[in-house]
Amino acid sequence: MTGTTDAPRSPGRPRSTRAAEAIIEATLDLLAEGSTIEAISMEAIAARAGVGKATIYRRWPGKDALLRDALRTLKGAPPQPTGHSVREDLILLVGAIGHTIDPRAAKIMPCLLPEAQRSPEHYALCQSIIEPRRAVMREVLRRGVRSGELRADLDIEVTMAMLTGPMLIQRVLNWNPDLDETTMPEKVVDGVLTGIRAH
C-alpha cells in the first residue's frame, strides 16, 4: 500500500508520500463532517486532498479499499490502566471512550453504523476497534474481583455495558446535550462502583 517496497529500486519518479497522506486525511475529514460511508464520493476526496482521482486509483483499487485503509488508521492503542486502584483505572478507561488518538473518530463512528448493521465486514471492522479496549476493561474488572474490591458474583459483561453505555451515548450519540462530559466519567464510575463494590 505505501509506495516504496524495499526490494526493487524504483525506475521512475517515486510516489509522493504527501499525496497518500493527504488522501487519507481528506477521507477522514469528510467522514468526520457527517458524510455517510456510502455517500462519500471519490471526487470529493480528490478535490479535498488537492489530488487527481488517478492518483487515488493508482494506490487503491476502489472506494472500499481506500475507506478500509483510512479507517484502519483510527485504530490507536487503547489506554493502559495504571493498576493502582480499580476506581482510578475505570475512570481512566471510561473517560477515554470516544477519545481515541484521532478526535475525528467520535464523529466518524456514528456514520459507520448504518453500514456495520448490514455488512458483516464493516461490523467486524468496528468490533476489531472496540474489542481491544473492551479487553482492557474486562481485565481491570477481573482484577477487582480477584482482589476482593468487587463482588465475586459480578456479571462482567453487563458491568462493562453499564460503564461504557452512558459515556458512549453521550459522546458519540450526543444523547443529552445538557450533560457535562468532563465530570461524567467519575460520576458514572462512582455510581456503578457503589453498586457493585463488595460492601
CB of 118 to DNA, least distance (A): 15
Site for DNA in 43-102 (CB under 7 A): 43-44, 50-55, 57-59, 61-63
Distance between CA atoms of 105 and 75, rounded to whole angstroms? 9
Query: Cell numbers 487519507 correspond to what residue?
Result: 24
No. of helices (H) and no. of strands (E), the chain: 9, 0
Which stretch in 40-48, 93-101, 130-138, 160-168 sits in contact with DNA by CB under 7 A? 40-48
Q: Is 174 in the site for a copy of itself (CB under 8 A)?
A: yes
Which among DNA, a copy of itself, none contacts residue 115 (Cβ within 5 to 8 A by kind)?
Answer: a copy of itself
Q: Is 181 in the site for a copy of itself (CB under 8 A)?
A: no
Binding mask 2-41 for a copy of itself (x = CB under 8 A): -------------------------------xxxx-xx--
3-state secondary structure of 152: coil
In angstroms, the Cα distances linking 44 to 1, 60, 122 are 21, 16, 22
**Closest CA relative to residue 32, chosen from 92, 93, 114, 112:** 112
Which among DNA, a copy of itself, none contacts residue 33 (Cβ within 5 to 8 A by kind)?
Answer: a copy of itself
CA angle 118, 100, 74 (to 5 degrees): 55
Q: Is 8 in the site for DNA (CB under 7 A)?
A: no
Distance between CA atoms of 153 and 144, rounded to whole angstroms? 12
Q: Is 118 in the site for a copy of itself (CB under 8 A)?
A: yes
Q: Which stretches of the chain bind DNA, using CB under 7 A?
A: 9-16, 19-20, 40-44, 50-55, 57-59, 61-63
